[in-house]
Amino acid sequence: MANTTSGKTWVGIPAGSRLKITGRSSGDDFTIFVDSDDGTTRKIIAQGDEVIPGPCGHRLDGGKTYIDRVIVEVFGDPGPTVDVVADILDANGQSIVNAFGFSAAGSAGSPYMVTLDIIVV
């Protein structure tokens, strides 16, 4: 069973914006990946050192609702702390939302999952 937070929902995002995810970790004993589902296709968009330190992400096309998941699994006892920040940038690379950050920490066991819902106009 995954440890899950409520995640974040962004509504009214302009078409052509980009999701940007970055992170850092206090150690190397973890795995991380990001997947995205736009209602038609679900795919892994980044994993491992593509996410941390990153940045990774993808373009947000108009008229779509994206469900992106960030999944972290920590190993070791105690394991490292993994900090992740998600942001949405406009076409000029400027943040257009309040960035959302979270930390995954603890000992080996369940993966940690955060869901990002993005509704694009």
The mean per-residue pLDDT over the stretch 20-29 comes to 93
Could you give the number of structural domains in the chain? 1
Q: Which residue has the higher pLDDT, 1 or 54?
A: 54
Q: Which domain holds residue 84?
A: 3-120
Beta strands, E only, 1-121 = 3-4, 8-13, 18-25, 30-37, 42-47, 56-59, 65-74, 82-89, 100-104, 112-120
User: CATH number of the domain that 115 lies in?
Assistant: 2.60.60
Model pLDDT for residues 28-65, shown as the tens digit of each residue: 889 999 999 999 999 999 999 999 999 999 999 999 99
Lowest-confidence region among 9-13, 15-19, 51-55: 51-55
| Beta-bridge partners for 37 | 42, 67
